[in-house]
Amino acid sequence: MKEARGMSLTGAGWTVAVFEIFGILGMLWSGWFTDRFMKGKAHRTCVFCMIGVAVFMTLFLVMPVGTPMWLMIIVLAMAGFFIYGPQALIGIAAANQATNRAAATANGLTGLFGYASGIVSGLGVGYMVDLINQTNPDKSWDYVFMGMIGIAIIGTLVFMTMWSAKADGYEDEQVEPKTE
């Protein structure tokens, strides 16, 4: 935030704190919204959340340096609100789409990729900023934000492919007769 938008270290600290608090609220909201309005179809809630991420990250990208700090904090807080929903629901969506026997495996795989992406994204973002700084130091973070917006759009499209899927695949499981 300091490099990208000229925030003070104190302002950047508050921004991260508010981002995380709104992320927690977004997780709770996405679970409630899924149960209340989406009839358990977590992938549909994820579509709306990913659209929200794309919208608020785009707003943050186009904000000029010198935008009031309170406005940047609100925009990033809303991005956090929408980012954490799919993070909380992806394991549930995968487990629900699997059969009863494969639910734990599906949830484990999404967790594995989630943790691996944390490592890759940290290294990837750092490498990207360093690489872009060599040729265009004033815009390196803008490219990172554009990348985040692109990933949000891709995520929206992926979740949209599941739009007509059932809430769960448990009914489709073939039960083998017991032999004694």
pLDDT tens-digit map of 66-96: 889 899 999 999 999 999 999 889 988 888 8
Where exactly are the structural domains of the chain?
A: 2-167
Task: Confirm if 15 and 76 have CB atoms less than 8 A apart.
Answer: yes
What CATH number should be reported for the domain whose range is 2-167? Answer: 1.20.1250.20
pLDDT tens-digit map of 112-127: 888 888 777 778 888 8
Spatial CB neighbours of 46, under 8 Å, sequence gap ≥ 6: 30, 85, 86, 89, 90, 93, 155, 159
pLDDT tens-digit map of 14-61: 888 999 999 999 999 999 999 999 998 999 999 999 999 999 999 999
Q: Kindly report the CA angle at 145 between 89 and 157, in degrees rounded to 5?
A: 45
